[in-house]
Amino acid sequence: MPSPAKALSNAALKAALLTATTRALRLEAELANAKAEASDDQAMIAYQQLQIAKLRHQVYGQRSERSVRLIEQLTLAFEELESAATADEIAAEQAAARTTGVAAFTRKRPSRQPFPEHLPRERVIEPAPTTCLCCGSAGLRKLGEDVTETLEVIPCSWKVIQHVWEKFGKPPVSTAA
């Protein structure tokens, strides 16, 4: 059986390891973000240089074929930097996702209790379609209903009004030959 001092040192070592690991992950995420920002900046600089070269070419005209080739090379360099910036952004997002813990969503049940059974109820049936909306046939069957209860206060008495929306559907078609 380990001594209490040894158990305490094991717990302290585990806590220190966990702290160091989370710090390393956080620093890795920050480094990835910094790399992504730097590559974004490089891509922006390359884009601005490309725009300047195109504007100079447009204003001063064609000096030689060399300037056209330089603009094409700047365009290619810009596209490469842009793709590298995108890859760095994805790496930064993945590093940040590793450090961020997201709790699972749990849906809460409705907190309202149903109305007491001893209250009188008035049933209002809302009109349902009598024919199928897609084909127009009249062979609909009742499948079920949705009921919503509201409480109506009448001086000196209470009653529950049930609004019912009946559900209808067509029976399956038999393919007997």
Same domain, 56 and 92: yes
Helix runs in the chain, H state only: 4-60, 65-99
Give the pairing type, strands 157-169 and 141-154.
antiparallel
Number of structural domains (the chain) is 2
Same domain, yes or no: 89 and 146: no
70 and 125, same structural domain? no
The pLDDT assigned to 79 comes to: 77
* Domain final position from 99, 132, 151: 99
- Do 54 and 128 share a domain, yes or no? no
Q: Are residues 12 and 73 in the same domain?
A: yes
Q: What's the average model confidence in pLDDT over 161-165? A: 88
Q: Output the pLDDT for position 148.
A: 84
Whole domain around residue 95: which residue ranges?
A: 7-99
Taking 60 as the threshold, does the pLDDT of residue 4 lie above it?
no
Which residues touch 124 (CB under 8 Å, ≥6 apart)?
Answer: 161, 162, 163, 164
Statement to judge: residues 79 and 138 lie in one domain: no
pTM across the whole model: 0.36
Predicted confidence (pLDDT) per residue in 107-144, tens digit: 676 667 888 888 888 888 888 888 888 888 887 888 88
Which pLDDT does position 176 carry in this prediction? 63
